[in-house]
Amino acid sequence: MLNRALRETYPPGSTFKVVTAAAALEDGLYTDIDAKTKSPLPFRLPQTSQNLDNEGNIPCENASLREALRYSCNTVFGKISDDLGNQKMIDAADKFGFNKEVFTPVRADASIYPKDNPPQNAMAGIGQASNRATPLQMAMVASAVANDGKLMQPYMVAERQAPNLDVIYTHEKEQLSQPLSGENAQKLQQMMETVVDKGTGTNAKIQGVTVGGKTGTAQHGLNNSENPYAWFISYAKTDSGSPVAVAVVVEDSDANRDDISGGGLAAPSRRRSCRQSSTARSDATHTGLHIGTRGYRSDIRYRLRADQVVRGR
């Protein structure tokens, strides 16, 4: 059976806008998340006569980073990716773990942010074109934001015991990279929490828990002919303990196309997962990978603590 949380890559859709926002903040392209951006409406893809559209009539012209993430503005983040250029976008994605295999110690396929031409780079900046990611990778993105910019090595085994229960191995936590500064991570936390509070991710709200997230509805198939993938990445935190980061992908070939969205399908699934985590912190520590398949529908989740303590169960 294919371990799709580790071995399958999907277009991440709008969940990747979290990485694009981080790239903009780290580069200094934008520093104030509530200031207007230079984002025309419509935004024409570079070197083409094709406009990049938004999903519906939403307020994206010159929208701030916070509002652009709240409404999931393709035009704003496509323009940011184009302004930064392909190499800076690759560098930013690399710091989150893209373009290399991850070992937990089980091998996870490399997620890919590709070298590409300007129009394709603009599309990759909103999680489309040749941009592909595993659920584990996008959980790592959410965890790095929740962990104040520190990306830790994910792992599935915290310790091993001999038959007499003596501990013969204990995993030592290891930082992989620092994709963004603590200050910029906190700005991105504010943006993701706005998404859940009053944006596209309100279905992920949990009473008494601070939740930040980003929805995604990723186009799939030639000319978007197949049902899209519904994504949601997020973290949940309380006043005590480490935040829990989650990535959910829903594949549903039997669903009505118009009913598929990250906020409609994936976010409620994530809420159920994290409600369990927030009420039983030890369970979150011990839970690694969960894959559920029902008929043609596959609900793929990867859940881990922001400090990446992940044990196999």
Q: How far is CA 225 from the centre of its chain?
A: 24
Structure tokens given for 46: 């570079």
Radius of gyration of the chain (CA): 18
DSSP type of residue 162: -
- Whose CA is closest to 157, among 283, 309, 6? 309
Tell me phi and psi for residue 6, to 5 degrees. Answer: -110, -30
Structure tokens given for 80: 């940011």
- Hunting for tokens 């806008």 — which residue is that? 17
CA distances from 228 to 105, 127, 148, 264 (A): 31, 13, 31, 12
- Whose CA is closest to 66, among 199, 216, 183, 262? 199
Catalytic residue among 14, 72, 234, 273: 14
Q: Is 181 a catalytic residue?
A: no
Task: Tell me how many helices (H) and strands (E) the chain has.
Answer: 10, 13
Distance CA 287, CA 313 (A): 6
Known catalytic residues are 14
